[in-house]
């Protein structure tokens, strides 16, 4: 039996890097995605040294940009005849409002629109050979999210980093819920998970106060290896193969927030996201 092929974004630090190494150690063929070529190479080398016999591939892309997401998808389709798992792990929290070249608020662009678009572009490849798995890194921070279809970009509301981040994590949960319904006929499963509060580079993108705070509490946070366990389990474990539309914490299915279980919100977000990314709803 051939090795499963896993594409993982945000794979150059934190739980992404830990998951890439563990996936490779378990024999998966891993395609690592990051925005910094040197970090991608370092993670790939660590994955190759983990002891698995399958190939490790390197892809460089800034997923906050739609053109880069599309370029990555084209590169993946050309490079990988098979794709068994897409792990949408890339994400960040920003302490101030930034706008991407596409005109979108950066947290929304990276944490939600990028995985939405990338999944759509790779969906046909994932559906081949009986269907694949889409695993998205969400968070219990979704409980702080406030989804407002009239202000998804936080142009009118005050920009509070945790609320903005939590809103995109709520979007991850709703995206998973709706994808599970829409892709079921293709044999694709969709799951998401909370990794815990992990000791990583997350939240250090800008803002001295946040960087200092995270440095202080760092020793008390969960290790990246532990944070990556649910991702690896959802990607490879036979016990997770039939799960779809669910939210997982520590390899166990958990109920998300009431908003995360709202089918009308999930459908509305899908339609709005399709319009923002230019894909067919």
CA distances to 31, 91, 145 from 166, rounded to whole Å, are: 28, 11, 4
Partners of residue 137 on adjacent β-strands: 193
β-pair type (85-88, 56-60): unpaired
* Dist. CA 171–CA 193, nearest whole Å: 13
* Dist. CA 113–CA 63, nearest whole Å: 9
CA dihedral 238, 69, 203, 11 (to 10 degrees): 40
* 165 carries an active-site annotation: yes
Residue among 165, 193, 202, 233 flagged as catalytic: 165
Q: Please list the active-site residues.
A: 165
């Amino acid at each position: 039996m051939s090795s499963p092929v896993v594409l993982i974004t945000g794979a150059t630090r934190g739980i992404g890097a830990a998951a890439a190494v563990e996936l490779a150690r378990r024999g998966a063929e891993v395609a690592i995605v990051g925005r910094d070529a040197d970090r991608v190479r370092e993670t790939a080398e660590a994955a190759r040294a983990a002891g698995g016999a399958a190939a490790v591939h390197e892809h460089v892309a800034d997923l906050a940009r739609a053109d880069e997401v599309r370029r990555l998808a084209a590169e993946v389709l050309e490079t990988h005849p098979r794709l068994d798992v897409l792990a949408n792990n890339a994400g960040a929290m920003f302490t101030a409002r930034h706008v991407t070249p596409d005109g979108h608020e950066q947290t929304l662009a990276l944490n939600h629109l990028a995985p939405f678009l990338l999944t759509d572009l790779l969906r046909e490849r994932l559906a081949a050979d009986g269907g694949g798995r889409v695993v998205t890194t969400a968070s219990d921070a979704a409980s702080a999210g406030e989804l407002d279809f009239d202000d998804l970009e936080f142009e009118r509301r005050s920009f509070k980093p945790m609320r903005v981040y939590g809103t995109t994590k709520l979007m991850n949960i709703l995206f998973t819920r709706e994808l599970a319904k829409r892709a079921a006929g293709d044999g694709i499963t969709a799951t998401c998970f909370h990794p815990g509060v992990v000791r990583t580079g997350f939240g250090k993108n800008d803002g001295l106060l946040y960087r200092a705070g995270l440095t202080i509490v760092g020793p008390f946070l969960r290790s990246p290896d532990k944070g990556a366990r649910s991702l690896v389990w959802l990607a490879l474990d036979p016990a997770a193969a039939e799960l779809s539309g669910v939210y997982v914490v520590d390899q166990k299915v958990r109920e998300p927030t009431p908003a995360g279980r709202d089918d009308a919100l999930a459908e509305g977000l899908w339609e709005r996201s399709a319009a923002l990314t230019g894909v067919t709803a």
